[in-house]
Amino acid sequence: MQTIFGNLAEQGASRAQANFAQIKSTSEEMTAALCDACSTNAQRAADYRTKVIEISHANTTSTLEFFSQLVDARSFADLVDLSTAHSRKMLETASAQNRELWHLAQRVATETAEPIKQSLDRVLRSAA
């Protein structure tokens, strides 16, 4: 009887050690994936911020150029024409800028989530 219980206890301890090793390995893999995701997120977020600064600079330059053109306007009709042209240009520019920022935001989300997704897939496949 003691031999049977001894063998069962030994098998249980062996399984517990194997499970612990599996959990430790999975934990290390998930930690590495999260570190990769954070690193990627930080880089892509920096790219996004840089693009926002570039857009702000371009918009400021465009506005200053518009004010310069307004100063040179000779009539009310010139003011209306300049304002209309500038408004159209700014609307087109804003649309393009928003599209560009949207694509960058998607890239941030996709590239941040990818290492986590791959790691979870591996963990779930190995657990099955």
What are the pLDDT digits (tens) for 55-65?
999 999 999 99
pLDDT above 70: residue 2 = no
- Burial annotation 58-92 (CB, 10 A radius, 16+ → b, else e): eeeeeeeebeebeeeeeeeeeeeebeeebeeeeee
Coil, helix or strand for 73? coil
pTM of the shown model = 0.70
Tokens 């520019």, residue located: 93
Domain layout of the chain by residue ranges = 1-127
